[in-house]
Amino acid sequence: MTSIAAAGATPLIGPSIERPSRAREIRNAIPTDLIWTSFFAAVVPLVWILYTVITKGLSLLLSSTWWLESQRGITVRHVGGGAYHAIVGTLLQATVTALISVPIAIFTAVYLVEYGRGRLARAVSFMVDILTGIPSIVAALFIYALWVTTLGLDRAGFSVSLALVLLMLPVVVRSTEEMLRLVPNELREASYALGVPKWKTISRVVIPTAFSGIVTGVLLGLARVIGETAPLLILGPYTKEINFNLFSGNMAALPTMINWDRTQSLQPAVDRTWAAALTLILLVLLLNIAGRVIARFSRV
Amino acid sequence: MTTTTGMPDFDEHVAYQPLVGTGRRGDQVFSGLARGSGILVVALVAAVGAFLLIEAIPALLKNRANFLFDRVWDLDDPAAPKFGIPDLLWATVAIAMIAMAIAVPLAIGVALFLTNYAPTRVARPFAYVVDLLAAVPSIIYGLWGIKVLLPYSRDVQGFLSSTLGWIPLFKDAGVSQGTLFLAGVVLAIMILPIVTAISREVFAQTPPAHKEGALALGATRWEMIRTAVLPYGRAGVISAAMLGLGRALGETIAITIIVSQVAGFNFSIFNGGQTFASKIANNAAEFDSPTKTGAFIAAGLVLFVLTFVVNAVARIVIERRKAFTE
């Protein structure tokens, strides 16, 4: 009897909702602090790296010679010259990589979304995942075995591009695939209802709708491969001279330019290393930001 | 729906889409191109394995040492090369493990921060900042590691080896330049964004009903995370860690720059060494005879198989989780 009266005396709302006990509050507070700390621990390296590269590399980038001249005839003791040869090489190789990998990647994504069913589609999807995980040095060794050992050709800018294709393909396939899946089915159905054949529906309705997303994927893919160094070490020996020919002669690229001078201790070489690093970072960030801006302003 | 974790859902449009098209020439050509590209991707991966195997086998047959167990690498005599991988395997695995030990807990913390602690207005730009970490080329991490981080890591190494030096793993190896430990730390920063991105995706997918249920029962925020978010995301986090591991095993240039090559071998993480990838990169200029090239390609083949297995396991874990949650 008394217990019922006591229970009745306590209102059901308000005071009966207790704060967690002291021990539970502490057990809540510790992980909370750790999680906040972990976030700042993750941001510190990024800021630190950007700060280092900018402070050490900026001065050379401000002069026009950096963008207009090569390193021809300039030794580690000399100040001067620019990164034109390496920028040209990097951009040429990246363009060829994109020209080869983008059509294959888009058709693969179209296959996975619009055509693929059953075993083959599963195999393709799995292999795209495996390709995502292939180390760049393994891709480079594969192209070396194909290009140099089997076909007997010389190492050249084009062989670097072939290795980069392997690394860029999965990135573009996955992002294109995702974009194609976002295209509403009503659009496809409306097109079929008008008697438009399937291939025209895909090429005139589905792909244009997803276009900006596909461009974003391509830019992010390019940003990934442009900084790859391992394929260049195996397939693209460095040169200090300008070379526009992708099929013969050594061709410089920004990563190999960094790699060339990085062990030197003389100041001109050290400055050039950091300046080349900053140029590379700027290029990658530009592609990244462009990709994300396009994605942001034109959602499917 | 998801970028990195998503295996596509094949039955999505099956009910209302003509699969074969109309049989017109345009349809045949287009579907042929699409199918051909898909087959090309499968063929590419198969070709990578096949070519590496073809190049490696002659060298492996000539090898006078046991490839898996002998700690030698002597290719000077092309008729009788001796090469084995245990040293490379140790350095590769040691660096990857250090990187994982640092990056995985940190990434889980960052992912939880972005999904459960930070206000949405803050979480978006912060997530973007973490993604930018992934965009920085690895050669720049390497450069930064050896030129900027090295003095700091010496202090940490000095402290660790003086307090825990009785464990062989932490014994001072007398290496003043880049060590496996420093490479592991830099690699941890490099794989952090991948592990974070995937963990964030799975944490964000936790059903709101689970979270609200926990909170309604009086759970504190941490108790809610422990009882609702973490169990839901466990498989996703494991596969995220595996993908990070795959990346760590294959990283080349950052490790080539950072880790100094040493003659002696011991089981200390404060020693130098070479991984599969850095061994190949360091000797890229020496690919002059088929036997030499073959030896390095054999090392590359082992790396390919390692990353293949790690990635495949990660994907299978994601698949099973997907089947379970749907």
Contact at CB, B225 and A31, closer than 8 angstroms: yes
Q: What is the pLDDT of residue A1?
A: 38
Give me the mean pLDDT over the B5-20 stretch. 46
Report if residue B126 sits inside a domain.
yes
Residue A11: band (very low, low, confident or very high) from pLDDT cuts 50, 70, 90: very low
Q: What is the pLDDT of residue B288?
A: 78
Report if residue B67 sits inside a domain.
no
Query: What percent of chain A is predicted at pLDDT more than 90?
Result: 52
From CA B37, how far away is CA B279, in angstroms rounded? Answer: 34
pLDDT at residue B12 greater than cutoff 50 = no
Same domain for B23 and B145? no
Q: What is the pLDDT of residue B74?
A: 83
The pLDDT tens digits for B302-324 are 999 999 999 888 888 877 776 66
- Among positive and negative, which fits the CA dihedral B287, B291, B292, B293? positive
Pairing, β B73-74 against β B82-83: antiparallel
Per DSSP, chain A holds a count of helices (H) and strands (E) of: 14, 0
**Which domain covers residue B29, as residue numbers?**
2-62
Give me the mean pLDDT over the A229-251 stretch. 90
From CA B12, how far away is CA B14, in angstroms rounded? Answer: 6
Q: What is the pLDDT of residue B212?
A: 93
The pLDDT tens digits for B139-163 are 999 999 999 999 998 888 888 888 8
List the single range of A8-17, A119-128, B266-275 with lowest mean pLDDT. A8-17
Length of chain A: 300
pLDDT at residue B183 greater than cutoff 70 = yes
Same domain for B93 and B55? no
Q: What is the pLDDT of residue A17?
A: 59
Q: Which of B3, B12, B253, B322 to mutate to test the interface with A (most CBs of A within 10 A)?
A: B253
Contact at CB, A288 and B132, closer than 8 angstroms: yes
Q: Where are the domains of chain A?
A: 84-297
Q: Does the beta carbon of B2 lie under 8 angstroms from any beta carbon of chain A?
A: yes
pLDDT at residue B287 greater than cutoff 60 = yes
Same domain for B133 and B180? yes
Contact at CB, A121 and B10, closer than 8 angstroms: yes
What is the enclosing helix (H) or strand (E) of B73?
A: strand B73-74
Same domain for B30 and B171? no
Residue A9: band (very low, low, confident or very high) from pLDDT cuts 50, 70, 90: very low
Interface ipTM? 0.86
Give me the mean pLDDT over the B72-97 stretch. 88
Same domain for B92 and B142? yes
Q: What is the pLDDT of residue A10?
A: 47
Give me the mean pLDDT over the A141-159 stretch. 90
Same domain for B243 and B312? yes
Give me the mean pLDDT over the B6-32 stretch. 61
Query: What percent of chain A is predicted at pLDDT more than 70?
Result: 93
Report if residue B188 sits inside a domain.
yes
Give me the mean pLDDT over the A92-115 stretch. 95
Q: What is the pLDDT of residue B144?
A: 94
Tally of structural domains, chain B: 2
Q: What is the pLDDT of residue A127?
A: 92
pLDDT at residue B171 greater than cutoff 60 = yes
Q: Which residues of chain B does A280 touch, with a Cβ-Cβ cutoff of 8 Å?
A: 137, 139-140
Q: What is the pLDDT of residue A167?
A: 94
From CA B131, how far away is CA B140, in angstroms rounded? Answer: 16
Instruction: Give B115 to chain A, closest Cα distance, Å.
Output: 11
Question: What residues contact A19, with CB distance under 8 A and at least 6 apart?
Answer: A25
pLDDT at residue B17 greater than cutoff 60 = no
Report if residue B74 sits inside a domain.
no
From CA A232, how far away is CA A139, in angstroms rounded? Answer: 11
- From the list B30, B222, B246, which residue is nearest A199 (CB)? B30
Task: State the average pLDDT for chain A.
Answer: 87
Q: What is the pLDDT of residue A170?
A: 94
Q: Does the beta carbon of A227 lie under 8 angstroms from any beta carbon of chain B?
A: yes
Task: State the average pLDDT for chain B.
Answer: 85
List the single range of A164-178, A184-198, B75-89 with lowest mean pLDDT. B75-89
Instruction: Report the CATH number that the domain containing residue B308 is assigned in CATH.
Output: 1.10.3720.10
Give me the mean pLDDT over the B285-293 stretch. 83
Paired tokens of A54: 């900018």
| Beta pairing partners, B83 | B73
Same domain for B41 and B157? no
Instruction: Give B165 to chain A, closest Cα distance, Å.
Output: 27
Same domain for B165 and B202? yes
Same domain for B247 and B171? yes
Residue B286: band (very low, low, confident or very high) from pLDDT cuts 50, 70, 90: confident
The larger pLDDT score, comparing residue B44 to residue A14, is at B44
Give me the mean pLDDT over the B227-251 stretch. 90
Do residues B214 and B228 make contact, with C-beta atoms less than 8 angstroms apart?
Answer: yes
User: Taking each helix axis from N to C terminus, what angle separates A118-133 and B230-250, rounded to the nearest 10 degrees?
Assistant: 60
Q: What is the pLDDT of residue A24?
A: 86
Same domain for B94 and B9? no
The pLDDT tens digits for A273-292 are 999 999 999 999 999 888 88
Q: What is the pLDDT of residue B16?
A: 46
From CA B61, how far away is CA B58, in angstroms rounded? Answer: 5
The CA–CA distances, whole Å, from B204 to A253, B7, B201 equal 40, 18, 5
Contact at CB, B303 and A137, closer than 8 angstroms: yes
Residue B19: band (very low, low, confident or very high) from pLDDT cuts 50, 70, 90: low
Q: What is the pLDDT of residue B139?
A: 94
Nearest CA in chain A to B19: A115
Do residues B126 and B111 make contact, with C-beta atoms less than 8 angstroms apart?
Answer: no
Per DSSP, chain B holds a count of helices (H) and strands (E) of: 12, 2
Query: Domain A84-297 belongs to what topology?
Result: MetI-like fold (1.10.3720)
Same domain for B87 and B48? no
Same domain for B57 and B88? no
Q: What is the pLDDT of residue B2?
A: 38
- From the list A177, A181, A281, which residue is nearest B136 (CB)? A281
Residue A262: band (very low, low, confident or very high) from pLDDT cuts 50, 70, 90: confident
Q: Does the beta carbon of B208 lie under 8 angstroms from any beta carbon of chain A?
A: no
